[in-house]
Structure 1
Amino acid sequence: MAQSHDGALENIRRYATEARALQDTQMDFDASGTEARLGNTVRELQARVQEQHAALEKLRASSGTDIRQTAHASADPRQKLRQLLTVKNAYTRLTPTAPFLPSQNSILPALLAARTLQQNIRGTKEAISTTQSQLTATETRLRHQEANQHDAQLLHQAMENRIARLRAQHEDRSQKSPAQLAKELIAARRAQKELYDDETASLGAALNAFINDHLSAMLAAEDLGGPVVGDMLDVENATLAAGFTKKGKAKAAQKPASDKLRQRRIDQIWGAKASLADAGDEDDEDPLTEAEAADSEMRTLLGDLFATLSEPGGGKAYFNIERDSAASRFLVRAKIAQFHPRDARKLRLIDFGKELDD
């Protein structure tokens, strides 16, 4: 037992020495003899192929049987048994035979190693490309899942806060009498109404300022045959006094138009209502300008449309307008009002809580 153990150790030491010597030995990379070695390898392989062909022909001639036919198992049990015995005898004779190995100077092992290495490199590159695409898809899916998780956490937190508020309100209401709850509800509704009134007044003041500072001059320009509201943002009173050409361009004012001519034009376009409404608010006797007339018409039209909402028809009732004005067209373009489907002289405000009528 000790001798076998010592023999194994000796073999290990000898293998290590030989392996170290092989590592220290420089490999022969002389390119001058590569072509000759390759030619010798090809000739060696061709000679081996010829030997195998000669052996196969000799076997066919000596046996006198069809090798292709005998390669398949026969349906006859006796014939099949003879085939199996023949295969067994062939394996028995070939087992002790040494396999064919290339010569020491053959370049065939290097070629086989290079082919295997090339296949491995190609497979590695394909694996890297596939892994990268999978990694990109996985990262995208991960980001999507993280976003969903974040949204779910926010929803969960909001639901918890809502539940906590509802529980607190329920506990608070359970400790109060119905009369006290009614008083608090009435006070909350009054506070909400006051808030809505203040916001309505603020929005109304902003709307009036917008009409007076910007919109009225553009409405007057469109009514006088000028550009549509929004095409000319800065419209001066002198431009309105001079008027516009048939092509919608401002006329070059040679001299200021007389107040009587301007007042007659204002009465023809906007009517006497605008002059009377403006005169009721002003203490002086300054002549009315085109922008002021358009401003008065827009305010009056908005007031009539809002008043129509309080009528029995409510949001479905239409207001009959006297003429097709720039103010009514602007409200329709701005999606604030809409004409009647069959009568363009009827106008109503749009109910923003419902879809637009066809």
Structure 2
Amino acid sequence: MVQPHSKTIQEIRRYFKEARALQDDSMDFDASSTETRLAQTVKELQVRVQEQQAALEKLRSQSGVDLEAAAYASQDPRQKLQQLIAVKDTYKRLKPTATFLPTQGSVLPALLAARTLQQNVQGTKEAIDSTQAQLTKKEATLRREEANLHDANLLTQAMKNRIERLSAQHEDRSQKTPAQLARELIAAKRAQKGNCDTEMHRLGEAMNNFINDYLSSMLAAEELGGPVVGDMLDVEDDTLAAGFTRKGRAKSTKKPVSDKTRQRRIDHIWGPKAVAVEDEEEEPSTEAEAADAEMRQLIGDLFATLIGPGAGKAYFQLVRDSAATRFLVRAKIAQFHPRDARKLRLIDFGRELDD
């Protein structure tokens, strides 16, 4: 058993040596002789082309047949049969002829292999680019379809929940008398009204705090010729007392302004007694307080006009163009009359929902 195994190993080693020798011979590309072998290969090919041309000319001269006409099948069945017989005889004579192969040292096989590899590599690169473009397009389509599927699933789930709620409500109502349904509806409306009143009170307090803490001073600054509401966020009382220049810049606050001068200015802009003073011993009103009172009065008048006669389409007649009016319009809370800028009304955002 040992001898056959050793013999097998020896045969494998011998085969490996012979294959390595053949590979070295076939891949022997010496840079010094490459040009010489390439020139020799070109000469061999040229000689072969000349031999083929000479054979073709000899055939033409001996046969006296028009090869271009004979290259196409004849319409005559007899002549066509003769052509087929001639082609058959030609193949029989050429079959035993040895195929032309380049010499052992020729670089033609390597050139042909290099050209084939180059074509394969170029084709592979083009296929990769095309596949990458298609892959990117398909990924974008997949993401879009996944998003659509996600939206569809959400809509389906929402519709199922809605159907379940409606079914439960319908079943619950079908088991109650009209009197019970009426009482429940009245109770629900009262609860809704209570929630609306609570929310309105909360929002009213928030609006009052906003006007008192932030908006009033900015409105007063705009009325005094200063920057538009929002351009100067922190406006101090001393800045309002000093006033602003014609260019909208705050004047120096080093020199104090008398209360009488400030009061006359307030009366001139916001009107006399802009802020009601319950006790004469209290301090005089400031510009911010006057602007605060004007804004609250304007909002109250606009609300009264909105809920009054006219179904929300009536306009409030303005006494003058003020910073409060311009702020409400810029904030898209109110709108002027299309043909009269002295008329203003609130934008009824909930009209369509109520209808």
Q: What range is the shorter-chain TM-score in?
A: 0.7 to 0.9
Q: Which deviates the most, 306-315 or 132-141?
A: 132-141
Establish whether residue 212 from structure 1 lines up as the match of residue 212 from structure 2. yes
CA shift for structure 1 position 106: 2.4
Contact between 1:308 and 1:314, CA under 8 Å: does it hold in 2? no
Which secondary structure does the structure 2 equivalent of 1:332 belong to? helix
Q: What is aligned with 2:3?
A: none
Return the match for 1:305 from 292, 298, 302.
Answer: 302
Structure 1 226/299 Cα, relative in aligned 2: closer, same or farther at 3 Å?
same
Residue of structure 2 in register with 1:12 after alignment? none
Alignment of 1:104-115 (within 5 A): 104-115=104-115
Shift of 1:119: 1.9
Q: State the one-letter code of the partner of 1:292.
A: E
**d(CA) in 2 for partners of 1:160, 1:80:** 79
Structure 1 residues 246-255 or 298-307, which shifts more?
A: 246-255
Distance in 1 (alpha carbons) for counterparts of 2:225 and 2:111: 92
TM-score by length of 2: 0.87
Deviates more, 1:43-52 or 1:63-72: 63-72
The whole-number CA distance in structure 2 between the counterparts of 1:33 and 1:262 is: 108
2:96 corresponds in structure 1 to: 96
The amino acid that maps onto 1:334 is: A
Residue 319 of structure 1 corresponds to: 316
Structure 1 residues 272 and 354, CA gap change in structure 2 (3 angstroms): same
Ranges in structure 2 where 5+ consecutive residues have no aligned partner: 1-11
Please report the RMSD computed on the Cα atoms of aligned residues, expressed in angstroms. 2.5
Deviation at 1:251, TM superposition (A): 1.7
Q: Offset of 1:330 from its aligned partner?
A: 0.8
| Cα displacement (A) at 1:76 | 4.4
Whether 1:27 and 2:38 are equivalent positions in the alignment is no
Cα distance change of structure 1 residues 111 and 17 upon mapping to structure 2, 3 Å threshold: farther
**Equivalent residue for 1:178?**
178
Distance 1:113 1:254, change over 3 A: closer
Aligned to 1:11: none
Matched, 1:352 2:341: no
The aligned residue for residue 256 of structure 1 is 256
- 2:274 pairs with 1:279: no
C-alpha separation between the residues in 2 aligned to 1:20 and 1:246? 103
CA contact (8 A) 1:216 1:295 kept: yes
Secondary structure at 2:272's aligned position in 1? helix
Aligned-partner Cα distance in 1 for 2:191–2:309: 28
Give the structure 1 partner of residue 331 of structure 2.
Answer: 334
Deviation at 1:21, TM superposition (A): 5.4
Give matches, 1:66-145, under 5 Å: 66-145=66-145
Letter in 2 for 1:24: R
Mapped partners of 2:147, 2:226: distance in 1: 53
Tell me the CA shift for residue 246 of structure 1.
Answer: 1.7
> TM-score, normalising length from structure 1?
0.86
C-alpha separation between the residues in 2 aligned to 1:133 and 1:181? 64
Alpha-carbon separation, structure 2, partners of 1:303 and 1:333 = 18
Secondary structure in 2 matching 1:233: coil
Distance in 1, matches of 2:55 and 2:14, equals 39
Deviates more, 1:218-227 or 1:106-115: 106-115
CA shift, 1:291, in A, is 0.9
Contact 1:270 1:294 in 2 (8 A): yes
1:223 Cα deviation from its structure 2 partner:
1.1
The answer as to whether partners of 1:37 and 1:105 remain within 8 angstroms in 2 is: yes
Write the letter of the residue equivalent to 1:346: K
Residues 19, 352 of structure 1: CA spacing in aligned structure 2 closer, same or farther, 3 A cutoff? Answer: farther
Shift of 1:88: 3.0
SS at match of 1:314: coil
**Residue 53 of structure 1: how far off its partner (Å):** 0.9
The Cα offsets for residues 46-95 of structure 1, whole Å up to 9 and x where unpaired, read as 11111111111111111223322332334445544443333333223222
What is the alpha-carbon distance in structure 2 between the residues aligned to residue 82 and residue 244 of structure 1? 116
> Counterpart of 1:57?
57
User: Which piece of structure 1 moves more, 337-346 or 96-105?
Assistant: 96-105
Is the aligned partner of 1:290 residue 2:281? no
Q: Quick one: which amino acid aligns to residue 346 of structure 2? A: L
* Alpha-carbon spacing, 1:94–1:30, altered in 2? closer, same or farther (3 Å): closer
